[in-house]
């Protein structure tokens, strides 16, 4: 597991700062460590008090973490003073830790989080050594000294910040008048070339609290895993979008809510399907049982409601001359296997995974010999307008929740076997045991 470190302030309301960072790290499946720079008393009305952590303690926290474990990536948030910035820069450079610089200056609900005399130190010491800096429009304007009124101004600011030494710059959108009018938030990425990432703006009538911290933490977690900057930024932006959508509404602002359990489950499901695909590729005789239409294996999150809650192989798994070929694993890429799983989950919520295989009588016999419960349906009896996967699985599950559902096909319909289980790895293990018995 990758190790990611956050260097920032505490938000007692839990919506931003290191609290948001640690929750985000967990959702992305990385181990989070933290270095506390300041304690804030803040709520939806703003920041009421700040107590800076002694510089020596900040330095000792950094030392304690980095001399004991290999930190893969870091992110900085609220650094508050020039002295803390200097210590952070020294230790990050000393240990060669790549990091995301989130130049936090003000709290979303109001309140100064960076002393006036600290900005020049941040520009001088941190920007030249960061992997990427993620200012919002007001922060980018202050750092660059340029007024930003539109996307062209943002490009000029990004170029100037890049000239200061930043390897890459992401100027977060949502603050420009034309964006607000269009209901869009467009982020600008510059790492030698310009790219844009755009999404709808949510609940823009209120201040959003914690979005910046969550974005930079998600970005750091993805970069730690070796994801490209573009893909990491895309993933982080989507994560924040969903977090705002599920945000907790207070009188003056919206506190982003990472829906940690659901996000952690989505990560678990993705990794589980990837592991299952690897197992299938290594399973003897699996290739012979891939149908002409290809096969797919999928798994749903615990509270799946739609196809977008089911992860599967994009483009299916096919038999190729050199072996078994499988595309990338992602959510919402297979309507076929998703319908299988969602229908089965209506009968048994535990059975969140399924795979389809070529029908043979020998395969069904092998399933029965292993003690798997087997059921079937007759496609000739399928009602007009019904979807085979929905109707067939429902028909085969009237009396009990089977492990295996098969049909003998129909005109233009290939005979098929579907194997169900609680996880994709469990399903792949069943397939391996079935293949061993053939």
DSSP labels for 190-258? ESSSEEEEEEE--STTSEEESHHHHHHHHHHHHHHTT--HHHHHHHHHHHHHHHHHTPEE-SSEEE---
- Same domain, yes or no, for 177 and 244? yes
- CB count in 10 Å sphere of residue 305: 9
Mean pLDDT of 175-182: 55
pLDDT band at 183 (very low <50, low <70, confident <90, very high): low
pTM for this entry: 0.65
Q: Is the pLDDT of residue 397 over 80?
A: no
Whether 252 has a pLDDT exceeding 70, the answer reads no
- Residue range 73-86: mean pLDDT, rounded: 94
Are 338 and 225 within one domain? Answer: no
Q: Distance between terminal CA atoms of the chain?
A: 37
Same domain, 25 and 78: yes
**Residues 134 and 165 occupy one common structural domain:** yes
Q: 81: phi > 0 → left, psi -120 to 50 → alpha, else beta; which?
A: beta
Tens-digit pLDDT profile for residues 115-139: 777 889 999 999 999 999 999 998 9
Number of domains in the chain: 2
Residue 371 and residue 222 share a domain: no
pLDDT tens by residue, 189-213: 999 999 988 766 555 566 677 788 9
Last residue of a domain, one of 235, 258, 281: 258
| 292 lies in the same domain as 355 | yes
The larger pLDDT score, comparing residue 435 to residue 321, is at 435
Give the whole-angstrom CA distance, residue 304 versus residue 301.
Answer: 5
User: What letter would DSSP give residue 147?
Assistant: -
What phi and psi, each to the nearest 5 degrees, are found at residue 102? -100, 100
CATH number for the domain harbouring residue 176: 3.40.1190.20
pLDDT over 70 at 271, yes or no:
yes
285 shares a domain with 161: no
| Residues 280-302 pLDDT 10s | 999 999 999 999 999 999 999 98
CA–centroid distance for 354 within its chain: 23
Distance (Å, rounded) from C-alpha 107 to C-alpha 343? Answer: 46
**Integer Cα distance of 198 and 184 in angstroms:** 7
* Tokens encoding 64: 């304690």
Token reading at 347:
């009968």
| Burial profile 386-395: b = 16 or more Cβ within 10 angstroms, e = fewer | eebbebbbeb
**Mean pLDDT score of the chain:** 87
Q: Residue 174 pLDDT > 70, yes or no?
A: no
Q: What is the pLDDT of residue 144?
A: 93
Structural domain of residue 280, as residue ranges? 265-436
In this prediction, residues 394-402 reach a mean pLDDT of 73
Distance CA 58, CA 84 (A): 7
How many residues in total does the chain contain? 438
The pLDDT score that the predictor gives to residue 181 is 47
Question: CA–CA distance from 249 to each of 41, 209, 420 (Å)?
Answer: 19, 10, 40
| Closest of 197, 164, 158, 212 to residue 16, by C-alpha | 212
Selection from 420, 423, 429, 382 nearest residue 402 by Cα: 420
Cα 344 to the center of its chain, rounded Å: 26
254 lies in the same domain as 323: no
Of 234, 258, 282, which marks where a domain is finished? 258
> Are 215 and 298 part of one and the same domain?
no
Strand-pair partners of 249: 254
The residue written with tokens 């008048």 in the block is: 177
Calculate the alpha carbon distances from 152 to 132, 147, 157, 200 in Å. Answer: 20, 11, 9, 20
Average pLDDT on 393-410 reads: 80
- Higher-confidence residue of 261 and 417: namely 417
User: Which of 44-48, 104-108, 128-132 comes out lowest in average pLDDT?
Assistant: 104-108
Q: Which of 228, 258, 288 is the last residue of a domain?
A: 258
Let me know whether 191 and 280 are in one domain.
no
Based on the domain organization, do 139 and 285 belong to the same domain?
A: no
Q: What is the CATH number of the domain that holds 283?
A: 3.40.225.10
CA dist., res. 339 & res. 16, Å (int): 38
Residues 293 and 247 placed together within one structural domain of the fold: no
On whether the CB atoms of residues 251 and 402 are closer than 8 A, the answer is no
Reduced to 3 states (helix: H, G, I; strand: E, B; else coil), residue 426 is helix
Looking at residue 314, what is its pLDDT?
93
């Amino acid at each position: 597991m990758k190790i990611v470190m956050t260097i920032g302030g505490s938000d007692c309301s839990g919506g931003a700062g290191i609290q948001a960072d640690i929750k985000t790290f967990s959702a992305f499946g990385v181990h989070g460590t933290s270095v506390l720079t300041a304690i804030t008393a803040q709520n939806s009305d703003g920041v009421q008090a700040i107590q800076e952590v002694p510089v020596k303690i900040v330095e000792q926290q950094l030392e304690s973490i980095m001399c004991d474990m290999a930190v893969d990536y870091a992110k900085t948030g609220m650094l508050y003073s020039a002295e803390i910035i200097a210590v952070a820069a020294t230790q990050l450079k000393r240990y060669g830790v790549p990091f995301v610089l989130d130049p936090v200056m003000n709290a979303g609900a109001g309140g100064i989080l960076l002393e006036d005399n600290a900005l020049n130190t941040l520009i001088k010491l941190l920007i030249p050594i960061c992997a990427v800096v993620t200012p919002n429009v007001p922060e980018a304007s202050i750092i660059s000294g340029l007024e930003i009124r539109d996307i062209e101004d943002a490009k000029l600011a990004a170029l100037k910040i890049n000239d200061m030494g930043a390897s890459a710059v992401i100027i977060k959108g949502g603050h420009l008048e034309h964006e607000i009018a269009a209901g869009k938030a467009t982020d600008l990425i510059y790492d030698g070339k310009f790219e844009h990432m755009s999404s709808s703006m949510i609940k823009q009538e209120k201040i959003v609290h914690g979005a910046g911290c969550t974005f930079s933490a998600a970005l750091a977690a993805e970069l730690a895993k070796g994801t490209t900057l573009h893909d990491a930024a895309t993933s982080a932006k989507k994560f924040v979008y969903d977090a705002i959508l599920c945000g907790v509404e207070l009188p003056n602002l919206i506190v982003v809510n990472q829906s940690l359990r659901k996000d952690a489950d989505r990560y678990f499901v993705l990794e589980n399907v990837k592991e299952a695909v690897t197992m299938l590729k290594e399973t003897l005789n699996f290739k012979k049982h891939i149908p002409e239409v290809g096969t797919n294996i999928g798994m749903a999150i615990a509270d799946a409601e739609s196809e977008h809650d089911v992860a599967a192989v994009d483009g299916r798994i096919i038999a190729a001359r050199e072996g078994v070929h499988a595309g990338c694993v992602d959510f919402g890429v297979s309507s076929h296997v998703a319908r299988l799983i969602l229908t089965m989950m209506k009968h048994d919520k535990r059975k969140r995974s399924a795979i389809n295989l070529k029908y043979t009588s020998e395969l069904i016999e092998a399933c029965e010999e292993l003690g798997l419960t087997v059921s079937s349906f007759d496609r000739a009896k399928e009602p007009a307008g019904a979807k085979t996967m929905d109707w067939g699985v429902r028909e085969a599950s009237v009396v009990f929740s089977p492990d295996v559902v098969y049909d003998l096909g129909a005109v233009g319909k290939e005979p098929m076997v579907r194997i169900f289980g609680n996880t994709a790895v469990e399903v792949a293990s069943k397939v391996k045991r079935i293949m061993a018995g053939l």
